[in-house]
Amino acid sequence: MAFIQAVLDGLMIGGVYAVISIGLTLVFGVMGIVNFAQAEFLTLGMFVAYFAWKFLGLDPLIGSFLSFVVIFGLGVVVQMTLIQRVLNAPPVAQIFVTVGLLIVIENLTLIVFGSDFHSVTTSYQTSTLRLGPLFIGVPYLAAFLMALLSAAALWLFTNKTWYGRAMRATAQDPMAANLMGINADRMRQIAFGLGVGMTAFGGAVILPYFTVHPTVGHQFVVLMFTVVVLGGLGSVAGAVVGGFAVGVIQSVSTLFFPIQLQNLVLFIVFLTVLAVRPTGLIGAAR
């Protein structure tokens, strides 16, 4: 029974890992650029939800929609002013731009918000559901359901709307997309905004059980890259599979090893999978 409980706990947190990582793989899939500042947008999304709770009284789960809208807009501006300029530049220039963006965002949040830790208080924060012998924390369940909701909305957008299909066409062949009347630059702006907005949304929904501070992104950045590489860099479906896999591996490994070694087990599995399938579990789908 302990094993089933561990798998259940892993699925709950894995769903959130998937959502915060989808943005990273979406940006790479459409633009071919690795955004090293992705985790900083998670931090900004958490701060938006925190201040929406503090000053407007919005529950973080409701505030997550505000986080998405605000960070989506910010992402479009960042893409137009910074990322667009290095799309055709050597990879090292793209790395310097996104790493520089990471440093700027982190230091600006430190200057503006200080180094204090912030948390919210909700009515369900310490509630637990009992399913026979199994237990599920309500904040974890709520974050998991919100993650599924956002992933389903993204799937509907990319597969059932003109903008989604145009974005996928831009990812496959930007020149052909332009010849078909698609504004490839506009699609890249939407893709980058969606990518960072999804990560901000994922950050906001975990606020009921996580504190926010300017360097909180450090706790997720390695996990995000692990998820997308394990699933297949550039594949949204791969990010979902990778997110659940990472969550379950972390949770189940605590049954056999000290919790401090959960990431050691994760990276052993990670390296083993890449040795057998270098393109990840699903493979790149650019």
Average pLDDT over residues 131-146: 88
Whole-angstrom Cα distance, residue 194 to residue 199? Answer: 9
Rounded to an integer, the average pLDDT of 276-283 is 78
**Residue 67: is its pLDDT beyond 60?**
yes
The pLDDT-based confidence of 284 (bands split at 50, 70, 90) is: low
CA–CA dist 194, 171 (Å, integer)? 14
pLDDT band at residue 146 using 50, 70 and 90 as cut-offs: confident
Tell me the Ramachandran region of residue 57: left when phi exceeds 0, alpha when psi lies from -120 to 50, beta otherwise.
left
List residues bridging with 129 in a β-sheet.
136
Instruction: Give the three-class secondary structure for 165.
Output: helix
pLDDT at 285: 45
266-277 pLDDT, tens per residue?
A: 888 888 888 888
Stretch (H or E) spanning 47: helix 38-56
What share of the chain has pLDDT > 70, as a percent?
Answer: 99
Run of H or E including 131: strand 128-131
More confident residue, 91 or 59: 59
- Residue 286: what pLDDT? 46
To which residue do tokens 């926010």 refer? 212
Q: How far is CA 186 from CA 28, 77, 171, 189, 192, in A?
A: 16, 12, 12, 5, 10
Residue pLDDT, tens place only, 184-243:
999 999 999 999 999 999 999 999 989 999 999 888 888 888 888 888 877 778 888 888
